[in-house]
Structure 1
Amino acid sequence: RHLSNGGDKADRLISASTPVARAVEIHHMAMDGDVMRMRAIPALDLPAGQSLELKQGGPVHVMLLDLKQPLKDGARFPLVLRFERGGEKEVMVWVQTPRRRGDEGAAHVH
């Protein structure tokens, strides 16, 4: 859930892909007055020596578009992250049904 840049130079997450979806977008959410807006961003800056949390409901997250099949609670799948300087990194993602009240029926990727 955390992207960490332990190096001494800045890097950028420039794309991501997974076999379970046609496309993966990097999204940023921010308040615009009283409205929460979500938009795709072309890249995500990772300053040197810092980390950034990617999570459902957080200001920065990845969105899977056009799933090839429904995701089920407990499923795992690979996600390839492509960094400008660091190259490709594959991580395993698991699907969890939220346990929080009010989120019933939604599945989130962590």
Structure 2
Amino acid sequence: MGARLHSCSPLSRQYACHHRRRLYLQAIEVEQKMNAVEPEPIHGDSVVVGSVAYPVKQVGRIVTGQDPRDFSAGEMVRALRRLGFTCKPRPASPEPTALL
């Protein structure tokens, strides 16, 4: 597939509904805004932007400028997948170990 992690045109736009509002996103805009951002620890769904994995809520907050409580991780995953980004589900929780 090559070095690019998404196959869409940089000019294509996708939207996610945020409390009955549409937010238009461009793949190139997501890449530019996340370029120099340090990823937060991943506890839920994540998205790969460039070669870095970020929590989808962090990407949503930075790209949209909205409070992460205003949108769901699922909304961001759907929008980012439509743009061609690779999204990964929440990491599996480790099996509990017995205390000896």
TM-score, structure 1 normalization: 0.28
- Larger helix proportion, structure 1 or 2? 2
